[in-house]
A and B are shown apart, each in its own frame.
Chain A
Amino acid sequence: MSRELLKGNVAIAEAALRAGMYAYFGYPITPQTELLEHLARRMPELGRVFLQAESEVAAINMVYGAACAGVRTMTSSSSPGISLMQEGLSYIAASDLPCVVVDVMRGGPGLGNILPSQADYFQVTRSAGHGDYHPIVLAPASVQEAVDLTVLAFDLADQYRHLVILAADGLIGQMMEPAELPPMRDLPAERPAYALTGAKGRPPRRIASFYLQAEAEEAYNLQIQARLARIRQNEQRSAEYFTDDAQFLVVGYGTVGRIALSAVRQLRAAGVPVGLFRPITLYPFPEARLRALAERVAGILVVEMNAGQMLEDVRLAVLERAPVHFYGRMGGAVPMPEEIVGALRQLLPTEVLS
């Protein structure tokens, strides 16, 4: 297979349709607009649905409808647009419907700016809307990983009948990098058994997100929790660099994960035994592996493009096994490898440094 030089946004769009996305609904917002632009051309070519909605609120509810009809469906936006979608996300989750949402995160809060950020970590991992649930959240660190995780997102969504969010940042969206696209999959010949397809000749089906009695709503909540337990059991994913003999660990995801790799390489070249742990799933957080690594390092530095959000998950995973420190940039500022090296040098015990 051949590699192509692809912009992250375009790569995600093309990977989604090749994974069998039949209907896309969205609304333009920088830094993800090329995703919409690519699909505006490609989806009609394939005889599929592309619709630019009048707002993000409309787009997510159109996704809700398409998911009820049993097709692979997706929307994409950037941070303020994802905020607008919160109610729809919760309704979709509470209807056990599979769908994929792409968040190409930008600086915030508020209108913020269009530069790269990871300040949506809480927004996408904690619940994405009201109620007790978590979406599955995937965080690519390269254009190739964005392609691969887009395909995985659709598969996980169908497997668990669950909402999956691809959490990229503006840099992944805007960057061009060689990547290999997946083969074009055929659309499934049949709709799933829950799909609302018109009840002609069969008993009606029902999809709803409410149970008026506490007992029924609680029983349903327990189902969600059981599903989330399975997801936590089976789907924790992460990548590691130089962890075999690491005495100090950096933890970063997405763009920051790869910037931290440069920092770790610089220190390794100077003989300093540091390693990198890069979560690929933000929910479920890869706590099992991180906990094991925490047993044998002197300390951990979490780096994020926010004020310390994944930091909470790292602390919950690590507890008292190792001290956990933080370095972050906010508002669209991207940490440079030199900054991470500087932060590490301040933290490293002298015996590790020498």
Chain B
Amino acid sequence: MQHELIFAGFGGQGIMFGGQLLAYAAMDGGYHVTWIPSYGPEMRGGTAYCTVVIADQEIGSPVVKHPGIGMIFNAPSFDKFVPMLQPNGLLVYNASLIPQQTERQDLTILPVPATERAPTPQLTNMVMLGALLTAKPILSLEALKAALEAHMPSHRRNLLEANLAALQIGVQLAEEALERL
């Protein structure tokens, strides 16, 4: 088993932490996992992305040319990364900020109005993660919640309930979107 994901959007959408949280949940579940941030000459408001690989054996390459799962949070990332997704991959995208569509017919595509339905814009990542694990349970939602409780930095613990609520919103949005597919 190996899953390769890219999380892409702009700064402030929780791109890095979204990927890290999934990595924590994978580690706690006994899997091998790597998390790599983009760290070029980044600027505020620019594109941020991270790559997560989860596997049940020692991970070779932590860099991935064609990720199987795209978690796309903004329009520039949609244009940049959707063409790179693996054939027959899964695309979860933030429909609140992404008006465009892709011509690719081979992907499973899940539009999620994540930013508008998130309790706060900063929780967009949790809505997206809830949607991902509902559409494709590469890890269980319970494992992700447990990882959130276990690894949330202490100065953010007051936001735990809001994060859990946002995850649940993502679950609901994914269920609705899957019905429409």
Write out the residue numbers on chain B whose beta carbons fall within 8 Å of the beta carbon of A328.
Answer: none
Stretch binding the partner chain, chosen from A54-62, A172-180, A210-218: A172-180
Q: A3 at interface (Cβ–Cβ under 8 A)?
A: yes
The distance from the CB of B45 to the nearest CB of chain A, in whole angstroms, is: 19
The distance from the CB of B17 to the nearest CB of chain A, in whole angstroms, is: 11
Write out the residue numbers on chain B whose beta carbons fall within 8 Å of the beta carbon of A176.
Answer: 20, 23, 34-36
- Contact present for A114 and B37 (CB under 8 Å): no
Stretch binding the partner chain, chosen from A95-103, A189-197, A222-230, A330-338: A330-338
The docked-state distance in angstroms from the alpha carbon of A176 to that of B32 is 11
- Contact present for A262 and B60 (CB under 8 Å): yes
Write out the residue numbers on chain A whose beta carbons fall within 8 Å of the beta carbon of B24.
Answer: 5
Write out the residue numbers on chain B whose beta carbons fall within 8 Å of the beta carbon of A170.
Answer: 39
- Contact present for B65 and A175 (CB under 8 Å): no
- Contact present for B60 and A30 (CB under 8 Å): no
The docked-state distance in angstroms from the alpha carbon of A171 to that of B40 is 11
Q: B27 at interface (Cβ–Cβ under 8 A)?
A: yes
- Contact present for B36 and A171 (CB under 8 Å): yes
- Contact present for A175 and B35 (CB under 8 Å): yes
Q: Contact mask B50-77 → A, CB, 8 Å, 1/0?
A: 0000000011111111000000000000
Residues facing B in A114-154 (CB within 8 A) are: 114-115
Q: A325 at interface (Cβ–Cβ under 8 A)?
A: no
> Given A258-B62, A262-B61: A178 and B37 within 8 A (CB)?
no
Q: B41 at interface (Cβ–Cβ under 8 A)?
A: yes
- Contact present for B63 and A178 (CB under 8 Å): no
Write out the residue numbers on chain B whose beta carbons fall within 8 Å of the beta carbon of A3.
Answer: 27
Q: A162 at interface (Cβ–Cβ under 8 A)?
A: no
Q: B48 at interface (Cβ–Cβ under 8 A)?
A: no
Residues facing A in B16-39 (CB within 8 A) are: 20, 23-24, 27, 32-37, 39
Count class of interface residues, chain A: 20 to 34
Q: Whose C-beta in chain A lies nearest to the C-beta of B50?
A: A176
- Contact present for A261 and B60 (CB under 8 Å): yes
Q: Whose C-beta in chain B lies nearest to the C-beta of A332?
A: B40
> Given A5-B35, A114-B41: A175 and B20 within 8 A (CB)?
no
- Contact present for A258 and B40 (CB under 8 Å): no
- Contact present for A177 and B35 (CB under 8 Å): yes
Write out the residue numbers on chain A whose beta carbons fall within 8 Å of the beta carbon of B27.
Answer: 3, 5, 178
Write out the residue numbers on chain A whose beta carbons fall within 8 Å of the beta carbon of B65.
Answer: 336-338
Q: Whose C-beta in chain A lies nearest to the C-beta of B37?
A: A174
Q: List 15 A-B contacts (CB under 8 A).
A: A5-B20, A5-B151, A30-B39, A114-B41, A174-B36, A174-B39, A175-B36, A176-B36, A177-B35, A260-B60, A261-B60, A263-B60, A334-B63, A336-B64, A336-B65
Q: Apart from A114-B41, A261-B60, what are 5 other A-B pairs with CB-CB below 8 Å?
A: A177-B34, A177-B35, A255-B62, A258-B62, A261-B61
What residues make up the interface of A, taking CB atoms closer than 8 Å to B?
3, 5, 30-31, 113-115, 170-171, 174-178, 255, 258-265, 334, 336-338
The 3 closest A-B pairs by CB, nearest first: A262-B60, A261-B60, A262-B61
What residues make up the interface of B, taking CB atoms closer than 8 Å to A?
20, 23-24, 27, 32-37, 39-41, 58-65, 151
